[in-house]
Structure 1
Amino acid sequence: MKNIIIGAGPAGRLAGIELGKLGEETLLIEKNDLGGTCLNKGCMVICALNDIARFLNNKRQYEKLGLISGDIEISYEEIVNKIIKTQKVIHEIDYEENTSLNNEIIYGKAQLTENEVSVGGETWEWENLLIATGGNPFIPNIPGKKYGLTNEDILKLKKVPEKLNIMGGSVIAAEISNIYSSFGSEVNIIARSNFLSELDPEIKDYIVKNLLKNVNIYENTDTKEIQKNKIIVENNGETKEFKGNTFIATGRSPNSEIARKILQDDDFDNRGAIKVNDLMQTSNQNIYAAGDVTGGINLTPVARMEGILAARNMAGYLNKIEYNTIPQSIQLEMDVSFANKTNFDKNKDGNKNKDNDKIINENKETIDISSPGSAGPGGFWKVLTKDTGITKASFDSQTNLLESITAISPSSISDIAYISYLMRTGENISNFDEFVEVHPSTDVFFQIMKYI
C-alpha cells in the first residue's frame, strides 16, 4: 500500500481526501468512528449543546423584556440521543467522501512495525505513513481522579448535573461552564492559575461579567482531591469543599504511543508529542504526523491544514506549513473570536500553545482601540441590557498593520476569520475603506479601522 493513514479525525480524513484527489493509493485505519474527537466527543458536541443553551438564554431574556412567556423543559436524554443520531449521519457522509475517491477504510486498532501495519490479523506494507491519532484528555495525577468526568463523558450523562465543578481555566472550561449553567446547573470553575489567561484583560472581564455571570470562578486554586460527589480545593491556605460532579478540563495529551516502536526517542517532545518538520515529516522522511498528536495548536482547522499539507508532501507535491495568525474562538452565549499576528514554531521549546497567542515582536509601538458591539442579528434585543458585545484591536502605529483583534458578537466567528486572512496577507488598515460588510451586521470593527 503506497499511503497508509492511521486515524480518521480532521487531520487524517482530510489527508485521505487530498490523496484521493491526487489519485494516490490510500488506506485509512480508524479505531472508533470517523471524524475523531471533534465530531464524536469534542467541538461538534459543544456546538450542539451550545445551540440549546443559547435558545434557553434568549428565551429568558425575552421573558425579562415582556416579549414572551411560558415554561420550557429540556430533555437532556433526548438531546444526547439526537446528537448521536446526527453524528451517524455525518459518519456516513465522511465515509462517502473518502471511499468515493477510491480510498479504503478499515476499522480497528492498528499495530506498527518498521515497515508494516496490521489490523485484526491483516497486514499491509507502507511506502508513506501518516500518524494522525489525535489526543486524549490530560488527567492530573491527583487523588480520586477516577471520579472526574472529561469531554469523553458528556454523551454518557443521563441528566443535567445539579452541581458541576470544572477543573481548569481554559477555553473548554469556559464553554462547558456556559452550557451547563444555562441548563440549570450550579457551576464552579476551579482554575489553578488565572482563568482565560490567554485573553486581553478587558475581554476576559467582559466574559466573566456578561457571559458567565451565573458561574462562580475561583482563580489560583489547587484541587487536592476529587471524590464521587465532591471536590476538595485549597485557596490561599484555606481548604474548601464543593459538592457535585467534577469535570476535568486541564488540556490534552498527544495520543502517540502507537509510534514508539518505529520512531526514536528524539522524535518525541517531553509531553509525548511527535516532532515534525515544516513538511510534517518525522526524522524518517517516509513517516509523517499531523493534528493533535504533534502538539502545538490543538484546533480542528489547524489539524485539517496539517493533514492536507502532509498528504501533498506524501504525494510528492512539496509544501511547507506556516502557522501565522490562526483565528480562534470560544463558544458562549455570544461567540468570542480572536486572532493575533504570530509566527508559531511547534518544535521550539517555550513556544507551544500559550505563546502562539502572543505578539512576537515586543518592541512594536502598538495602539489599542475598543468599541462596544452594535445592534443587529442576535444583538438587537441586547441593547436594552447594554450587553451587545465588544471589539478590541491593536495595531502598529508606524506601519498601520493590525496586530491583534478580538470580537464578542453573534457574527464574530466568520468576521474574525476574514480579518485574520487580511492580517496574514499584510493588508494595511488604511485600505479597509475598500471593504464593504454585509448589512445588517453586529460587528463594527471595520468602521473602527476606517475612522482611526
Structure 2
Amino acid sequence: MTFDYDLFVIGGGSGGVRAARISATHGAKVALAEEYRMGGTCVIRGCVPKKLMVFASTAPDAIEEARAYGWDASVGAFDWPRFRTALDAELDRLEAIYRRGQQNAGVTVYDQRATVAGPHEVRLADGTTVSAKHILVATGGRPFVPDFPGCDLVMTSNEVFKMERLPERILIVGGGYIACEFACILHGLGVKVTQFNRSPLLRGFDTEARDLIVDQMGARGIDIHTHVVITKIEKEGDELVVTCGDGREERFDAVLYATGRTPNTEGLGLETAGVKLGERGEVIVDEWSQTNVPSIFAVGDVTDRINLTPVAIREGHAFADTIFGGNARPSDHEMVASAVFTQPEFGTCGITEKEAEERGNTEIYVSTFKPMRSGFAGSDARVLMKLIVCRETRKVLGCHIVAPEAGEMIQMVAIAMKMGATKEQFDATCAVHPTMGEELVTMRNPARHY
C-alpha cells in the first residue's frame, strides 16, 4: 500500500518536533500538524516563560542582598507590560527556531488541527484526509479546572503569561509544583499571594524537603491555607468573591487555578481508530511508545508517564531511531531528575524517604544548614541536602536538594546516580570548598535507617 507520508505527527511540542525532525533525517517522508504555536506547552506557555518569570521575580531579593553586602542599591516598581513585551518577543524567536528546524529537515508542516481518522489516516481541519504508514500522537496536556459555579472566571497557567496587568491580590488554587512556582513568582513580582489547596502542598515529593520549602514560602509572606475547598466564585465589580466550603468569603483581583493537567486527547478520534485510553484519557502505550493499534504511537504528556519536557524529547527521539533509524531502543524512564523552581529551589532524583521506608534496607543521610551567602546577609533561609542509600549495594537511590540553584546541582548528581554511583564513591570525591554542594560528599553518618 502506498501512503502520503511515512510518518504523520499530531502536535508540535517538544516530543513531536523531535520525533518529526529525527525521523526526517533518517530519510522518512514526514508531516506534522500543530493547531496553535510550534513549540508546545514548554516553549510557549510553560517551562521557558515560567523560568524567565522566575528570573524576574528574584530581583528584589538580589537587591536586598546587595545592600547587606555594602551596596547602595534599590529597586523600583516592576514594569509588567515591558517585561511581557520582551517575553513575547523571545517566545516568537524560539518558535521560529522550532519551525525552521522542521523546514530544514524537510518536514511538511500543517498549521491546523489534525485528528486520527483511522489506523493510517489523519483528517485535517480544512477537510483534507491524508494517509500515513505511522501516526504519532504528541498532543501533550492541558490545565484542568474542576466544574463549579464561577469556574469560567478563573485563569490557568495558559493565560497567566498573557495578563494585561499584574493583579494586586491573587488567589492561587492548587498544591502541585506549578501552583507553588507561580505563588513564588508572583509574590516576587510584588503581588499579594494567597494559596489554597485541599491537601498539603507538593504531595508526592520528599516530605522533609517539601516541608522546608513550604515553611520558607510562608516565611516570605505567601499566605498558605490547606484543607480548603472552594464552592463558588462570583464577580463583583473588579473583584472576585471566593466562597469556601466553611462559608467564609474572600476577595481577590484574580484567581489562578493550577489543579493538575489532563492528557489532551478529547476529540482526537483515537477511540474511533481503536486506540485504548486510560481513566484520565491518557494514551496507553508500551515501552516502545506503541499503542494497541500497531501503526499508532504516542509520546510525551499525552501518555501520562513522566510529564517532563526532556522525557518527551527522549521518547520522540527513541521512537524515530526505532522506526526509521535502524536502532531499536525503548524509552528510558529510570532515574529521571527534575527541578521545582520555587523559592527556595528544589532538585530531586530517585526515590523519596517515604519510598525508602517502604522498601527497607536503606540509609538516610541529611544535612541542613544556613548557607554562607544568605546567612551573611541576615537571611533565615536554610538549605537541605539528602541522600538515600541502599544498605546492601551502597548505591545512591535518591537525592533531594533544597537550595538556590538546586536544579543545576541535581543535573550533575543525576549523572552519577544514573551510572550507579555508591555512597563510598560520593565520599571519595574531594569537596569543592566553600560551596553548598560539598555537603553531598561530606555526610558520613546516616540520620536514619529503614
Q: Note the residue ranges of structure 1 that are not aligned, 5 or more in a row.
A: 343-356
Tell me the residue number matched to 2:366: 370
The 8 Å contact of residues 53 and 333 in structure 1, kept in 2 or not, is answered as no
Amino acid at match of 1:144: G
Pairing partner for 1:35 from 10, 19, 39: 39
Tell me the residue number matched to 2:242: 232
Amino acid at match of 1:367: E
- SS of the residue corresponding to residue 444 of structure 1 reads helix
Alignment of 1:290-305 (within 5 A): 290-305=299-314
- SS of the residue corresponding to residue 358 of structure 2 reads coil
Distance 2:383 2:297 in 1: 42
Tell me the residue number matched to 2:121: 116
Tell me the residue number matched to 1:352: none
Post-superposition offset of 1:153? 0.9
Distance 1:341 1:198 in 2: 10
Tell me the residue number matched to 1:351: none
Instruction: Say which is worse superposed, 18-27 or 161-170, in terms of deviation.
Output: 18-27
Post-superposition offset of 1:375? 5.1
The 8 Å contact of residues 411 and 443 in structure 1, kept in 2 or not, is answered as no
Amino acid at match of 1:253: T
Post-superposition offset of 1:144? 0.6
Distance 2:286 2:247 in 1: 47
Pairing partner for 1:197 from 178, 192, 203: 203
Distance 1:289 1:335 in 2: 32
Identity %: 24
The 8 Å contact of residues 192 and 223 in structure 1, kept in 2 or not, is answered as no
* Residue 207 of structure 1 pairs with residue 207 of structure 2: no
Tell me the residue number matched to 2:23: 19
**1:28–1:203 distance in 2 versus 1, CA, 3 Å:** same
Distance 2:166 2:14 in 1: 29
Distance 1:92 1:18 in 2: 18
Tell me the residue number matched to 1:51: 55
Tell me the residue number matched to 1:241: 250
Alignment of 1:33-432 (within 5 A): 33-63=37-67, 67-114=71-118, 115-119=120-124, 120-212=126-218, 213-228=220-235, 229-234=239-244, 237=246, 239-257=248-266, 258-264=268-274, 267-315=276-324, 316-341=326-351, 359=355, 362-372=358-368, 379=373, 384-432=378-426
* Residue 443 of structure 1 pairs with residue 437 of structure 2: yes
TM-score (norm 2): 0.89
**1:185–1:399 distance in 2 versus 1, CA, 3 Å:** same
Distance 2:385 2:56 in 1: 25
Post-superposition offset of 1:64? 5.4
The 8 Å contact of residues 324 and 341 in structure 1, kept in 2 or not, is answered as no
* Residue 7 of structure 1 pairs with residue 11 of structure 2: yes
- SS of the residue corresponding to residue 187 of structure 1 reads strand
**1:373–1:91 distance in 2 versus 1, CA, 3 Å:** farther
Alignment RMSD, CA only?
A: 2.5
Distance 2:144 2:281 in 1: 12
Distance 1:8 1:198 in 2: 29
Distance 1:164 1:409 in 2: 26
Q: Note the residue ranges of structure 2 that are not aligned, 5 or more in a row.
A: none
- SS of the residue corresponding to residue 253 of structure 1 reads strand
The 8 Å contact of residues 132 and 289 in structure 1, kept in 2 or not, is answered as yes
**1:89–1:57 distance in 2 versus 1, CA, 3 Å:** same
**1:362–1:451 distance in 2 versus 1, CA, 3 Å:** closer
The 8 Å contact of residues 373 and 443 in structure 1, kept in 2 or not, is answered as no
Q: For residues 23-68 of structure 1, what are the alpha-carbon distances to aligned partners after superposition, in whole Å with 9 as ceiling and x for unaligned? A: 2221111111111011111111111111100112211333456533
Instruction: Say which is worse superposed, 76-85 or 108-117, in terms of deviation.
Output: 108-117
TM-score (norm 1): 0.89
Aligned residue pairs: how many? 434
